[in-house]
Amino acid sequence: MFAVHLMAFYFSKLKEDQIKKVDRFLYHMRLSDDTLLDIMRRFRAEMEKGLAKDTNPTAAVKMLPTFVRAIPDGSENGEFLSLDLGGSKFRVLKVQVAEEGKRHVQMESQFYPTPNEIIRGNGTELFEYVADCLADFMKTKDLKHKKLPLGLTFSFPCRQTKLEEGVLLSWTKKFKARGVQDTDVVSRLTKAMRRHKDMDVDILAVVNDTVGTMMTCAYDDPYCEVGVIIGTGTNACYMEDMSNIDLVEGDEGRMCINTEWGAFGDDEALEDIRTEFDRELDLGSLNPGKQMFEKMISGLYLGELVRLILLKMAKAGLLFGGEKSSALHTKGKIETRHVAAMEKYKEGLANTREILVDLGLEPSEADCIAVQHVCTIVSFRSANLCAAALAAILTRLRENKKVERLRTTVGVDGTLYKIHPQYPKRLHKVVRKLVPSCDVRFLLSESGSTKGAAMVTAVASRVQAQRKQIDKVLALFRLTREQLVDVQAKMRAELEYGLKKKSHGLATVRMLPTYVCGLPDGTEKGKFLALDLGGTNFRVLLVKIRSGRRSVRMYNKIFAIPLEIMQGTGEELFDHIVQCIADFLDYMGLKGASLPLGFTFSFPCRQMSIDKGTLIGWTKGFKATDCEGEDVVDMLREAIKRRNEFDLDIVAVVNDTVGTMMTCGYEDPNCEIGLIAGTGSNMCYMEDMRNIEMVEGDEGKMCINTEWGGFGDNGCIDDIRTRYDMEVDEGSLNPGKQRYEKMTSGMYLGEIVRQILIDLTKQGLLFRGQISERLRTRGIFETKFLSQIESFSRILQETLKELAPRCDVTFMLSEDGSGKGAALITAVAKRLQQARKEN
Ligand code: BG6
Ligand code: GLC
Ligand code: GLC
- Going from the Cα of 415 to the center of ligand 1, the distance in angstroms, rounded, reads 7
Q: What is the pLDDT of residues 140-178, one digit of tens each?
A: 999 988 889 999 999 999 999 999 999 999 999 999 999
Q: Is the pLDDT of residue 418 over 80?
A: yes
DSSP 382-427: HHHHHHHHHHHHHHHHHHHHT-SSEEEEEEEE-HHHHH-SSHHHHH
Choosing among 3.40.50.300, 3.30.70.3190, 3.30.420.40, 3.90.1300.10, the CATH entry for 64-223+448-468 is 3.30.420.40
CB-CB neighbours of 834 under 10 Å: 10
Neighbours of 241 (CB within 10 A): 17
Question: Which pLDDT belongs to residue 791?
Answer: 59
Which of 170, 208, 258 to mutate to test ligand 2, by most ligand atoms within 8 A of the CB atom? 208
**Paired residues of 240 in beta bridges:** 255
pLDDT over threshold 70, residue 700: yes
Whether residue 277 has pLDDT greater than 70: yes
CB 638 within 8 A of CB 648: no
In angstroms and rounded to an integer, the radius of gyration of the C-alpha atoms of the chain is 39
Least confident range of 364-373, 517-526, 580-589, 612-621:
517-526
CA 456 to ligand 1 centroid distance, Å: 17
Mean pLDDT for 587-607 is 93
808: confidence class by pLDDT, cuts 50, 70, 90: very high
Residues 6+ apart with CB under 8 A from 317: none
pLDDT value for 1:
59
Q: How high is the pLDDT of residue 458?
A: 85
Tens of pLDDT, residues 487-545: 999 999 999 999 999 999 999 999 999 999 987 777 888 999 999 998 778 999 999 99
Q: pLDDT tens across 214-231, in order?
A: 999 998 898 999 999 999
Query: Which of 170, 229, 257 is the best mutation target for the ligand 2 pocket, counting ligand atoms within 8 Å of the beta carbon and taking the most?
Result: 229
Q: How do residues 127-143 score in pLDDT, each as one tens digit? A: 999 999 999 999 999 99
Amino acid residing at 279 = R
pLDDT above 60 for 790: no
Query: Residue 119: how many CB atoms within 10 A of its CB?
Result: 18
Q: What residues form DSSP beta bridges with 444?
A: 412
* Average pLDDT value for residue range 667-674: 92
Q: Is 232 in the pocket of ligand 1 (CB under 6 A)?
A: yes
Ligand 1 geometric centre to CA of 495 (Å): 71
The pLDDT value recorded for residue 522 is 76
Q: Three-class SS of residue 108? A: strand
pLDDT at 784: 62
Within a 10 A sphere around the Cβ of 198, how many other Cβ atoms? 9
184 has which bridge partners? 167
pLDDT per residue as tens digits for the range 172-202: 999 999 999 999 999 999 999 999 999 999 9
Integer Cα distance of 535 and 745 in angstroms: 11
Examine the pLDDT at 100 and tell me if it is beyond 70. no
From the candidates 539, 721, 739, 754, give the one annotated as an active-site residue.
Answer: 539
Residue 423 and residue 383: Cα distance in Å, rounded?
A: 7
What integer pLDDT is reported at residue 3 of this predicted model? 74
Quick one: pLDDT at residue 678? Answer: 86
With CA atoms as reference, report the closest residue to 274 among 515, 31, 66, 56: 31
Nearest to 227 by CA among 266, 258, 188, 190: 258
Instruction: Name all residues whose Cβ lies below 6 A of ligand 2.
Output: 86-87, 155-157, 172-173, 208-210, 229, 231-235, 260, 262, 294
Going from N- to C-terminal start, the domains of the chain cover 1-53+268-444, 64-223+448-468
Mean pLDDT of the chain: 93
Q: Which amino acid is at 826?
A: T
Ligand 3: lining residues by beta carbon, under 6 Å = 534-535, 602-604, 619-620, 655-657, 676, 678-682, 707, 709, 741
Predicted confidence at residue 785, as pLDDT, reads 59
Amino acid in position 743: M
Which of 677, 113, 211, 792 has the alpha carbon at shortest distance from 455? 211
User: Which ligand neighbours the alpha carbon of 232 most closely?
Assistant: 1
Listed in sequence order, the residues at least 6 apart from 136 whose beta carbon sits closer than 8 Å to its beta carbon are: 112
319: closest CA among 374, 395, 401? Answer: 374
pLDDT (0 to 100) of residue 549: 65
Residue 787 is predicted with a pLDDT of 52
- Which ligand has its closest atom nearest to the C-alpha of 291? 2
One-character DSSP codes across 808-832: -------TTTTHHHHHHHHHHHHHH
| 814 included as an active-site residue | no
Q: How confident is the model at residue 838 (pLDDT cuts 50, 70, 90)?
A: confident
602 is known as an active-site residue: yes
> What pLDDT, on the 0 to 100 scale, is given for residue 253?
87
Nearest alpha carbon to residue 303 among 342, 332, 341: 332
**What are the pLDDT digits (tens) for 227-246?**
999 999 999 999 999 999 99
Distance (angstroms) between ligand 1 centre and the Cα of 309 equals 27
**Could you tell me the CA-to-CA distances from 153 to 129, 184, 270, 581 in Å, in that order?**
16, 14, 30, 70
Predicted confidence (pLDDT) per residue in 457-496, tens digit: 888 887 788 888 999 999 999 999 999 999 999 999 999 9
Measured CA to CA, the distance from residue 747 to residue 289 in angstroms comes to 62
Q: What is the mean pLDDT of residues 393-420?
A: 96
Q: Which atom of ligand 2 is nearest to the CA of 87?
A: 12
Range from 299-313, 750-764, 801-815 that averages highest in pLDDT: 299-313
- Is the model's pLDDT at 584 over the cut of 90? yes
pLDDT, position 786: 56
What is d(CA 33, CA 431) in angstroms, rounded to the nearest whole number?
11
| pLDDT value at 99 more than 70 | no
If one residue of 413, 444, 450 were mutated to test the ligand 1 pocket, choosing by the most ligand atoms within 8 A of its CB, it would be 413
- The class level of CATH for 1-53+268-444 reads alpha beta
pLDDT, tens only, 33-68: 999 999 999 999 999 999 999 999 999 999 999 999
Q: What is the pTM of this model?
A: 0.67
